Structure 1
């Protein structure tokens, strides 16, 4: 009863606070510019795809060291499975699985993470590494919910999360940092410094997060050190060049399920990224040449080791040649793979291990956006894939945005997406099958955006329907069991967002997603409600949040019931000086007992306190 009252209070309090502060009103940014869903900056109202934005202010308010947890409260239909107070880990039964509209996977390779439009995933298992994405490095996050393969290629079946790195606009030195300590020996520390002089800029950040873990029956410690460096130069008004280096060195203990706890399943992993870009802007034409090289070295106590790479070149050019028309043409080349070892396995189980395996893929695409008058915006495109393993694939997509009036926008889109078979699907272990074809998905959606109350209240609602086919599954009843393109699914539902910002001191955002999906899909709650508020008085700011789930499948075993739970968090900050702020974060204040995956309990009430500073 007390937990329910606390959750109700956190949901309702922002509304009354906003009414009390009505005199200090502001207007929302009703026409933000995005680059996701298109390859050029464009007002969101003209983009047919459903795109959510989490900006630098949102990231700083959240206090999260990692980017992904900051998205949970602000993106409808977005689910992330945690493991502890900090850190996700890698390998079987680790955290960090991302689900958008119920589309995920294990490994999690059906939602694509990008950094400045460059794909980021492990070269052998093809999943993103959640512990690599630090908030200190990111200016804003744009999330395309729904199929995004037309512009971004493989793995963007459920959507694309584009992490846009920070920019330095002010001359001279400036920076910020934070340090916090709390329950279970959890340490969160971050430092960021930037410098600009005329056309030259550079920035560097260092992050450290660690915890002793909360499981008493097993080792679940985690530690990660992340480094990021970026520098660039504006050659002239037309050309800009930049280079980046990113490293993440983590040490993780996988505790195992409570029915069979593990005392020493240690997993060490080093992830790195080197990238460079040359951007151009000639007025009516603009684009970029992007080169990236991702690498990793994973070592498990169980004997598994791997060295992987994912490297490629992306080139695109936007052509604004005809009135109210934008044509984007692009070429993507990628090469991914590596070598895995596990001497602890018996020889029959080592199939493909010890050998280097590589896959190359070259895609070309064209995307046309055309406005009819001032209110109707159409787009259509096609991507052609040439893969060294399975051959070719064709991916069409089209959509429309119609401004019925300045405060009402209707959007519709249909697109095909795919996921190329990974190295592990094709070559590693006895269940692999080198004849596999790509997984495919058709996504359809219809959306409405409505602004009310003199632009203080915005509502967004989307109906979506996704049908997946050729999914790679292993049937254990076959002899011998091998991966086959026999899986399928059908997800449909509705997602909505209400955002209320009556003044500079108050913001309230509520997301709801209803999902009708197959019974055995993990990380896909049938009903998912998140609410987050921000309000400030004097030197004090409060950030309460609630996550409520109904009908979450936590095990492939369909005889086990689905679960439901609610978790409430609260972050309180006090501005000591103009540059120093103290904070106290309380998580799971309802002390809810719950599991996101069968056999892996989550922690109860836990707190972290610390300071943030700016220079």
Structure 2
């Protein structure tokens, strides 16, 4: 009841005075172009998959130093295990777990993070490193909700988050600086400089975030520095070459759960990424040749250390041979693995430690997209996986979009997704099992998207069902306990999004997702509701937001109660000039006490103020 009253208050207070804006005000378009869901830029209302988009403008106005937290208010059903004031960390008890449609993992290895369409995950544990995704480096985010393995391969069971990197767009030198300071001695700062001249573009960025932490019972400080460089050259009107690289260097202290806080547990890690891309667009033939290399070095005070690598090559071409048809043919090659050490463990527990493990995977895929007249779009795809550890697997997918009217589209799709066993599943520690098969999932969804009120209000609703099998679990009934493909789940639910935009002075985005899970699954709330309003009044703007979560399992112990909580945040900005903005942000203004993971409390009220300069 409290949440309903708050929602009504925000919408009535901010929306009503502006509902009578003139019809020529800024409106929403359903035909927005996206590249995720296909390997070619396509109108969103012609793609069967459910895709959410986040623009550079939204990233800028969020003030977030990391791109993942702002997805909470932009993507229906998205949940992030945001452990502290800033930073996520790695290893057991860290943050950064992502859940879409109730599908996650511990560590998070069932939602795939991509950078420019290339998979990003740690070579040993197969999960993304959340602290590496700096907002200053990203031009746009596209999130495919639901299975995405036909195009992107392993780990895309719950969905795929495609981070499209930023490059300079204006001629000459341009740049910005953003600095903020707040509660618990928290510092967030970033700067970027870009230079464009003719066919050449370049950009460099640096980010720094740190905090002394908020826990009184344990050390939980965090610091992270990232650097980013991108350069590119247009060889010809239809051919371009670009390369980018990134480093993230972090040090933090793992506090442990409140029932057993850790006095000192220092953890350090260095993550790096480099990529090259050669892209072609010759009308009826377009595509890319992509190369990526990821690496990491991790050192824990407890004695654990590791090095890992993940390299790959992607080549695909989009062919328009027949009228109103696009055929995408692609090949992906990945090589991932690493080596882990821990001399503090007793010898029986050192299974696989000190040995370099490597897995090779080569995938072929085909996707066809066919237009039937002006209203119907069909797509069908197939991926064939060849893995050096477990052999082969076939993944089909198909769907359609039916544009009943110009501003009303029906969508439906079914697709199979999978997750390959990771190095730790197969080879490390006594629970490992070299005979493990891939986890599997069938995803089905149907719904609609439409525009009403003179294109000021967009509505999107999708019903979904995801059935997973062969999940890798530790079977306590077997002695010694080892991993086995014994798990399954059935998630079903509904997700919806309402976007209201009138002129440039008001934007409202409301998300609600309901997920019914038949197992005790972490990070899968039954009800996930969020509301964010962006109100611009002359030089002053205010951005209030609400998030309500209920039915969240934060512990695998069945007797523990579900977590329910409501958060209110508020950000205010003032434009001193078109190049200078000052801001103040308050989070968890209700001082709500809650835990996304049992034993790890979240911070109470915290405030940050700062300045953003452009030049």
Could you say which TM-score interval applies, normalised by the shorter chain?
A: over 0.9
Q: Deviations over 1:505-546 (max 9, x none)?
A: 100000000000024100010000011110100110111111
Which residue in 2 is equivalent to 1:513? 513
> Does the CA-based 8 Å contact 1:379-1:400 persist in structure 2?
yes
Which residue in 2 is equivalent to 1:367? 367
Alpha-carbon spacing, 1:266–1:4, altered in 2? closer, same or farther (3 Å): farther
* Alignment pair present for 1:546 and 2:576: no
> Does the CA-based 8 Å contact 2:332-2:362 persist in structure 1?
yes
Which residue in 1 is equivalent to 2:61? 61
The 1-side partners of 2:444 and 2:200 are apart by: 44
Deviation at 1:13, TM superposition (A): 2.9
Deviation at 1:2, TM superposition (A): 9.1
> Does the CA-based 8 Å contact 1:21-1:505 persist in structure 2?
no
Which residue in 2 is equivalent to 1:117? 117
Which residue in 1 is equivalent to 2:320? 320
> Does the CA-based 8 Å contact 2:167-2:230 persist in structure 1?
no
SS in 2 for 1:61: helix
SS in 1 for 2:15: helix
Which residue in 1 is equivalent to 2:98? 98
Which residue in 2 is equivalent to 1:410? 410
The 2-side partners of 1:72 and 1:3 are apart by: 17
SS in 1 for 2:500: strand
> Does the CA-based 8 Å contact 1:11-1:531 persist in structure 2?
no
The 1-side partners of 2:40 and 2:93 are apart by: 38
- Structure-to-structure mapping, 1:472-487, within 5 angstroms: 472-487=472-487
> Does the CA-based 8 Å contact 2:30-2:450 persist in structure 1?
no
Deviation at 1:388, TM superposition (A): 0.2
- Structure-to-structure mapping, 1:84-233, within 5 angstroms: 84-233=84-233
> Does the CA-based 8 Å contact 2:174-2:194 persist in structure 1?
yes
The 2-side partners of 1:375 and 1:7 are apart by: 36
Deviation at 1:238, TM superposition (A): 1.8
- Structure-to-structure mapping, 1:271-310, within 5 angstroms: 271-310=271-310
> Does the CA-based 8 Å contact 1:209-1:224 persist in structure 2?
yes
Deviation at 1:21, TM superposition (A): 5.2
SS in 2 for 1:600: coil
Deviation at 1:159, TM superposition (A): 0.3
Which residue in 2 is equivalent to 1:571? 571
> Does the CA-based 8 Å contact 1:10-1:546 persist in structure 2?
no
> Does the CA-based 8 Å contact 2:246-2:274 persist in structure 1?
yes
Deviation at 1:584, TM superposition (A): 0.2
- Structure-to-structure mapping, 1:530-609, within 5 angstroms: 530-609=530-609
TM norm structure 2 = 0.98
Q: Deviations over 1:299-347 (max 9, x none)?
A: 0010000000000000000001110000000000000000000001000
> Does the CA-based 8 Å contact 2:338-2:357 persist in structure 1?
yes
* Alignment pair present for 1:79 and 2:94: no
> Does the CA-based 8 Å contact 1:11-1:546 persist in structure 2?
no
- Structure-to-structure mapping, 1:258-273, within 5 angstroms: 258-273=258-273
> Does the CA-based 8 Å contact 1:573-1:584 persist in structure 2?
yes
The 2-side partners of 1:166 and 1:74 are apart by: 19
Deviation at 1:283, TM superposition (A): 1.1
Q: Deviations over 1:366-418 (max 9, x none)?
A: 00000000100000010000000000000000000000011110000000000
TM norm structure 1 = 0.98
What is the number of equivalent residue pairs in this alignment?
A: 615
Unmatched segments (≥5 aa) in structure 1: none
Alpha-carbon spacing, 1:136–1:17, altered in 2? closer, same or farther (3 Å): farther
Deviation at 1:31, TM superposition (A): 1.2
Deviation at 1:61, TM superposition (A): 1.1
> Does the CA-based 8 Å contact 1:445-1:465 persist in structure 2?
yes
> Does the CA-based 8 Å contact 2:510-2:530 persist in structure 1?
yes
Q: Deviations over 1:535-560 (max 9, x none)?
A: 10011011111110110001000111
Which residue in 2 is equivalent to 1:29? 29
> Does the CA-based 8 Å contact 2:148-2:159 persist in structure 1?
yes
The 2-side partners of 1:161 and 1:421 are apart by: 20
Aligned alpha-carbon RMSD (Å): 1.3
> Does the CA-based 8 Å contact 1:199-1:235 persist in structure 2?
yes
> Does the CA-based 8 Å contact 2:398-2:413 persist in structure 1?
yes
Deviation at 1:459, TM superposition (A): 0.4
